[in-house]
Amino acid sequence: MRYSALTVLTQALRGHAGWRPAWRNPAPAPDYDVVIVGGGGHGLATAYYLAKHHNVGRIGLLEKSWLGNGSVGRNTTIIRSNYLLPGNLPFYELSMKLWEGLEQDINYNAMVSQRGVFNIYHSDPQRDAYARRGNAMRLHGIDAELVDRDALRQRIPYLDYDNARFPIQGALLQKRGGTVRHDAVAWGYARAADRLGVDIIQNCEVTGIRQERGKVIGVETTRGYIGAKKLGIAVAGASSLVAAMAGLRLPIESHVLQAFVSEALKPLIDTVITFGAGHFYISQSDKGGLVFGGDIDGYNSYAARGNLPTIEDVCEGGMALMPMIGRARLVRHWGGIMDMTMDGSPIIDRTPVENLFLNAGWCYGGFKATPASGFCFAHLIACETPHKVATFYRLDRFASGRLIDEKGVGAQPNLH
Ligand SMILES: Cc1cc2nc3c(=O)[nH]c(=O)nc-3n(C[C@H](O)[C@H](O)[C@H](O)COP(=O)(O)OP(=O)(O)OC[C@H]3O[C@@H](n4cnc5c(N)ncnc54)[C@H](O)[C@@H]3O)c2cc1C
């Protein structure tokens, strides 16, 4: 069923009795040409682009719970391509371009909103660093503007410009950055992949990876054995656990990151704002809630819930940037599991096990990467060579020392 204004009208006249489920609920087949493990944004996008662009045969996607239960449905929805390093810039810009055409491509309203992302700076060195980042972006054909204090004050008047401790000097603006409704991304890709014949199997946990003479031949699951000619792992926070089933030890730690939503307020924040003197980022959802977040909790965990000291830390960042936020009531918060690599950049690569491919290490930033990640991972699985914008995301870079340390903090996953 294609969504269109005419379909909505027809359904309205018929009492909405004719809508069909957005995707099928098939039983797992005994085997597939390609099996993708993980029904988050990255797994679903991979399955979709594999089916759309590559002739790889039958594709099965296995999700241990329900679509959207993982970080794809838990993030703060920010998209941007304001990176600095050559390994990252073209990749995240491809993602931005795919976001820009996504809704037409998958015929689904994902509420892509290019409302702009302002990264606030508070000191001369930070301004210089942001100017350098903006220049790198422009050299790669990506939009970037340095906004001074007066122009910023006109655009976002409610920030604390008189805070002596964290004086606001200006911001780096990417106008094309913004937000996307996170769970609509999962649902939209699922529906589009299903229409191209992908079997999406929920409540199907992969519990083992079967190999024969160093080659993957299939997976053990809670719904029985499923054969696979090629296997792609895209399980984000559970990457180390699933890779260990094939005997791999990844350069990844899992950490919890929390998100927060206030009570619904009248429209107030019409852009995305990040604080440069601490870790705090905020936007306002279409329902009116202020959606914000900050740092990871700082210890290894597989629990999708966080702790009070981090809530205090994030709220302090908010108060320092926009004291008015102290009047809003926090109504919801939750955690998600982050697959933090040693350099803060992802991995899209083959593994030492034949026919086993890995998509992992998304840290805080995997939501914005979803389309390009799926696009490049599909290319890798089908063509067995990396896509040209993902050539830096190799697994062996941690052994060879070719790191992509975007934040410059070294091998400290808790700081990326
Ligand atoms: C609070 C929070 C805020 C964030 N904010 C942003 C942001 O603003 N911008 C941004 O770019 N990024 C953000 N992120 C990061 C982003 O959400 C993640 O990097 C990204 O969603 C991870 O990819 P995914 O969607 O595929 O993961 P997930 O949705 O977690 O998908 C992985 C799936 O694998 C499944 N799985 C695990 N093990 C198995 C198994 N054994 N068998 C079968 N299935 C399995 C899981 O159930 C899960 O559904 C945020 C994350 C969090 C938690």
Here the tokens at position 402 are 């070719």
pLDDT at 370: 98
Q: Under CATH, to which class is 5-77+182-251+343-415 assigned? A: alpha beta
Q: Looking at residue 414, what is its pLDDT?
A: 87
Please give the structure tokens belonging to residue 26: 């098939």
Pick from 107, 108, 79: nearest CA to 95: 79
Q: Which atom from ligand 1 is nearest to the alpha carbon of 204?
A: 43
How far apart are the CA of 279 and the centre of ligand 1, in A? 20
| Angle (nearest 5°) at CA 82 between 81 and 87 | 75
Give the pLDDT confidence of 265-311 residue by residue, as tens digits: 999 999 999 999 999 999 999 999 999 999 999 899 999 888 999 99
The secondary structure element, H or E, covering residue 33 is strand 31-37
Does 387 sit in the ligand 1 pocket, CB within 6 Å?
no
| Domains 5-77+182-251+343-415 and 113-176+253-341 fall in the same CATH topology | no
CATH of domain 113-176+253-341: 3.30.9.10
How long is the chain?
Answer: 416
Question: Which amino acid is located at 414 in the chain?
Answer: N
Interval between CA 158 and ligand 1 midpoint (Å): 32
C-alpha of residue 64 to centroid of ligand 1, in Å:
13
Cα 251 to the chain's mean position, in Å?
19
Residue 375 Cβ < 6 Å to ligand 1 = no
Q: State the pLDDT at residue 7.
A: 93
Give me the residue spans of the domains in the chain: 5-77+182-251+343-415, 113-176+253-341
Per the CB < 8 A criterion, the answer to whether 239 and 250 are in contact is yes
- The label of the residue with tokens 């379909």 reads 7
Query: What pLDDT, on a 0 to 100 scale, did the predictor assign at position 1?
Result: 79
Count Cα neighbours of 298 within 13 Å in the Cβ-side half-sphere.
10
Query: What pLDDT, on the 0 to 100 scale, is given for residue 416?
Result: 86
The answer to whether 61 and 199 have CB atoms below 8 angstroms apart is: yes
Please state, in angstroms and rounded to a whole number, the distance separating the CA atoms of residues 69 and 78.
18
Ligand 1 site, residue 230, Cβ cutoff 6 A: no
DSSP 367-405: HHHHHHHHHHHHHHHHHSS--GGGTT--TTHHHHT----
C-beta 242 within 6 A of ligand 1? yes
Residue 243 has what pLDDT?
98
pLDDT at 269: 97
Residues of the chain with pLDDT under 50: none
